Amino acid sequence: MYAELKSIIVTGASSGIGKIAAIVLAGAGYKIFGLARSYDKLAELQAQLTPGQFFPIAFDITQHDTFEKVVSEIASRGQIFGLVNSAGYVEPGAIEDLTMDNLRVQFETNFFGLVGLTKLVLPYMMKHKAGRIVNVSSMAGLVSLPLIGAYCATKHALEAISDAMRMELWRSGIDVISINPGVIETNIHNVTSGKVRSLQSSRFAHAYEKYLVEEPKGLSVRVVGDSILHAITSRSPKHRYLIGSGKEKTGVRLRSLVPDSVFYAQVARRILS
Ligand SMILES: NC(=O)c1ccc[n+]([C@@H]2O[C@H](COP(=O)([O-])OP(=O)(O)OC[C@H]3O[C@@H](n4cnc5c(N)ncnc54)[C@H](OP(=O)(O)O)[C@@H]3O)[C@@H](O)[C@H]2O)c1
């Protein structure tokens, strides 16, 4: 089978979007190398999948000095066709509440780590003149929102660098694909809620609770898995997969149509009041 010899690296494979990506891509016959810090969760996933299709690797995306060894080992086990960059989290906090250290770790995880790993995988794809780099961005990479400005900044940076790479890799056989989900039901919201606890004394405490803790639910992670599967397997993948409720998609599209003053006032009123 066409896909059988090909490897796909999935970061953040221990949970949520990365985990579903690993499951659907393994189901499509790819050999998956699943990366995350929680090795036990990766091992659990391995036990659920067909033997020989999923290989767990303990990996912290902020530890750049480990990347080269991991990538060269994966490359020694077959052609690397895909890289699904899904590892990430939301650092909550209005800018006045955010520490510079937290902002730096947010960028290390969601942006610098992703770029560092991608740079090391790219030469292997270039050698085969084929590959798919799937960057799990967010609607927050297209429209910025209050209280999660650090996260939005990392995803806007990811959009910018994905666009640049897409052009640099024009006619190379390597596609760069952005996945832009709205709210999706995963563990990311529990991680964010845990972090919100340290922001109780903020003037935004009520808004953090309402908007970041009580509100999230979102679409099933399965729909993101389907888009990632399409991005990897389609002959002509889209540059961008916008995934969310009708309301979320309309919000993103309206951003460029509605005057700034109207847009900012409406979002601020909805989230902060
Ligand atoms: N869920 C949503 O509503 C939503 C919406 C838009 C975009 N996204 C994006 O989707 C991606 C995946 O998020 P998710 O919703 O699937 O969240 P999740 O269920 O919390 O999964 C996050 C994954 O990232 C991994 N990760 C976090 N920090 C890491 C680190 N330092 N090194 C290595 N791996 C790390 C986690 O693994 P370990 O903890 O085991 O390391 C976990 O596997 C993120 O980039 C997120 O921004 C999510």
Mean pLDDT, residues 139-162: 98
Question: What pLDDT is stored for residue 110 in this prediction?
Answer: 98
| Band of residue 158 on the pLDDT scale cut at 50, 70, 90 | very high
Cβ atoms within 10 A of the Cβ of 261, count? 8
Q: Which amino acid is at 247?
A: K
Pair of tokens at residue 215: 């509100």
pLDDT digits (tens, 9 = 90+) for 34-44: 999 999 999 99
What's residue 232's pLDDT?
98
Model pLDDT, residue 3: 46
Q: Whose CA is nearest to atom 23 of ligand 1?
A: 12
Does ligand 1 lie within 6 Å of residue 20's CB atom? no
Checking if the pLDDT of 2 tops 80, the result is: no
Query: Which range, of 125-134, 152-161, 212-221, averages the lowest pLDDT?
Result: 212-221
3-state helix, strand, coil in the chain (%, to 5): 55, 15, 30
Q: What is the pLDDT of residue 146?
A: 98
Amino acid at the residue 72:
S
Q: Best mutation site among 37, 107, 117 for ligand 1, i.e. most ligand atoms within 8 A of its Cβ?
A: 37
**Domain boundaries in the chain?**
7-187+218-246
Ligand 1 nearest atom to the CA of residue 62, by list position: 31
Q: First CA to last CA across the chain, in angstroms?
A: 56
The yes-or-no verdict on residue 262 having pLDDT over 80 is yes
Catalytic residue, candidates 124, 151, 208, 211: 151
- Rounded Cα gap, residues 244 and 139, in angstroms: 9
What is the reported pLDDT for 217?
Answer: 85
**Which strands sit side by side in the sheet containing 240-243, from one edge to the other?**
54-58, 31-36, 7-11, 80-85, 131-136, 174-181, 240-243
Residue 216: pLDDT band (50, 70, 90) is confident
pLDDT higher than 90, residue 252: yes
> Does the pLDDT at position 197 exceed 60?
yes
* pTM given for the model: 0.97
Closest CA to 79 of 129, 124, 46: 124
- Cα-to-centroid distance, 231 and ligand 1 (Å): 19
Asked if pLDDT for residue 31 goes beyond 60, the answer is: yes
Size (the chain), residues: 273
**pLDDT attached to residue 4:** 52
Q: Give the CATH number of domain 7-187+218-246.
A: 3.40.50.720
Per-residue pLDDT band for 215 (boundaries 50, 70, 90) equals: confident
Mean pLDDT within 161-175: 98
Q: Give residue-wise pLDDT tens across range 58-83.
A: 999 999 999 999 999 999 999 999 99
Question: What is d(CA 168, CA 174) in angstroms, rounded to the nearest whole number?
Answer: 10
* Average pLDDT of span 84-101: 98
State yes or no: pLDDT of 14 exceeds 60: yes
The pLDDT of residue 46 is above 50: yes
Q: How far, in Å, from the CA of 183 to the mean position of ligand 1?
A: 13
Instruction: For the chain, give the percent of residues with pLDDT over 90.
Output: 97
Distance CA 224, CA 207 (A): 28
Tell me if 94 sits within 8 A of 146, measured CB to CB.
Answer: yes
Is residue 89 part of the annotated active site? The answer reads no
Report which of 127, 236, 241 is spatially closest to residue 175, judged by C-alpha positions: 236
Q: To which H or E segment does residue 33 belong?
A: strand 31-36
